[in-house]
Structure 1
Amino acid sequence: MSGSGERGQRMSGDGAQNPDDPAAPRQPAGQVNQEFLEMLCAMGIDQALATQALQVTGNTSAEIAAAWIFENPSGGQGPQQEQQWLGTTDMTSPVKMVFVVNAELKMGVGKTAAQVAHACLGLYRQLLQNQMSYGEKLLQWENGETKIVLGGLNTDHLTELRGKATSAGLPNYMVQDAGRTQIPAGSVTVLSIFGSVPDVDLVTGELQLL
């Protein structure tokens, strides 16, 4: 049920997050991931600029920090730029739509497929209605239409992810079932999120493929 391009397994065998994973929790403010810093410096990037880039991008990964440096070769104004930068990835970045399925509901295969379809159509219509904001990225997405299906823990988890997506400026759509089959009416079944791959991965990068 998944498209191409999603990252592999995000968790270690005991369920703990891999500290080398780009989706791992960010370092405390003012600190940087030393491994990422060394990787950037090995590319010939000035240490001060590499440090700033990691702070601005939240210690997400060396690749994303390098992308920020490419866009800001002379540096910027510091960590306060982070939130503005998250949703403004260059148009050359690949675009995808992800679907986070509420695993707690234990829906059957057919039910899950129907709910993912609802999430896709709902978000697609939302994007069509906001052509001024999303038209270019929508056209970019339609050239391949990358779609990824992921597993979410429960309703609270999907709600939390939706809040992160909204804060990052990523369009999203939450499906609540009508309750005609299998599950109670009003159940949150699927969350869909759209955007450039690096931006979406900041929200859903730690999740497993369904």
Structure 2
Amino acid sequence: MGASNFTQVISVGVVSFLTGYYVHQWLNSKSSRPRTRSSIRKVTSSSEESTEESFEEDSDDEGIDINSTSLNEIPGEVRMTLVVRQDLKMGKGKAAAQCSHATLALYKKITNPQSDAYNPDMVRRWEYGNGQAKITLQVPNEDEMDTLFAQAISLGVNAYVVHDAGRTQIAAGSATVLGLGPAPKLVLDQITSELKLY
């Protein structure tokens, strides 16, 4: 590996670490505030059949809209990645419902003309280029999920964390699935290449 490649790898690592650290600190400061019904858009799931309610909480992690238009120049397959937490021991149906919430939330972000995340070119590539490809991966715990979230933001990839309503298998407010994209596979692999399939 050349010196310039090594320097680039170190630079990306440092930037990712610092971004993750500061996003984590910011998210922790937000989550200590009391819950409200009007502060942000949040999807929650109340059962494995993916019943949705409009429970909203003052935690701005899901409200960050990223302008991903710079990724339009990157060639290749465009996909969405859904990262499922393993420490929660969700059933397959529960995990499927949570993944559905993440998919819909990301799609709403990227197709909303009033959102900073609006990117119709990326949507077209994802929808028509390879049939709305999605991949599900697993992450061991919430800390690792937070790190992936920060890496995605630092690379210009939209990210969304689904929190559960807590009516069935897991505690209310638990971060269950991290949705990433749609974005070029080349960029998503920089974030998730170490993860195993779910």
TM-score normalised by structure 2 residue count: 0.62
| Structure richer in strand, relative to its length | 2
CA shift for structure 1 position 55: 5.3
Q: Secondary structure at the match of 2:122?
A: helix
In the alignment, what sits opposite 1:140?
A: 125
How many equivalent pairs are there? Answer: 134
CA shift for structure 1 position 132: 7.3
In the alignment, what sits opposite 1:112?
A: 95
Structure-2 separation of matches of 1:138 and 1:91: 14
Q: Give the AA of the match of 1:166.
A: I
The aligned runs of 1:15-164 (5 Å cut-off) are: 33=1, 52=4, 54=5, 58=9, 88=71, 90-129=73-112, 130=115, 133-143=118-128, 144-164=131-151
Structure-1 separation of matches of 2:118 and 2:196: 30
- The structure with the larger Rg is 1
Structure 2 counterpart of 1:191, from 163, 169, 178: 178
Closer, same or farther: CA 206–122 of 1 in aligned 2, 3 Å: same
CA contact (8 A) 1:89 1:199 kept: no
RMSD of aligned alpha carbons: 2.1
Q: Secondary structure at the match of 1:191?
A: strand
Q: Secondary structure at the match of 1:190?
A: strand
CA shift for structure 1 position 58: 3.0
Q: Give the AA of the match of 2:105.
A: G
CA contact (8 A) 1:100 1:149 kept: yes
Percent of aligned pairs with the same residue?
37
Closer, same or farther: CA 127–89 of 1 in aligned 2, 3 Å: closer
Per-residue CA shift, 1:142-189, capped at 9, x if unaligned?
Answer: 121110000011111111100110011100110000111100100000
> Mind listing any 5+ residue stretches in structure 1 that lack a counterpart?
1-32, 35-50, 60-86
Q: Secondary structure at the match of 1:58?
A: helix
Structure-2 separation of matches of 1:91 and 1:100: 22
Structure-1 separation of matches of 2:117 and 2:86: 35
Structure-2 separation of matches of 1:99 and 1:168: 17
CA shift for structure 1 position 110: 0.7
Closer, same or farther: CA 131–188 of 1 in aligned 2, 3 Å: closer
Q: Give the AA of the match of 1:114.
A: A
Structure-2 separation of matches of 1:93 and 1:56: 26
TM-score normalised by structure 1 residue count: 0.59
CA shift for structure 1 position 90: 2.5
Deviates further, 124-133 or 140-149:
124-133
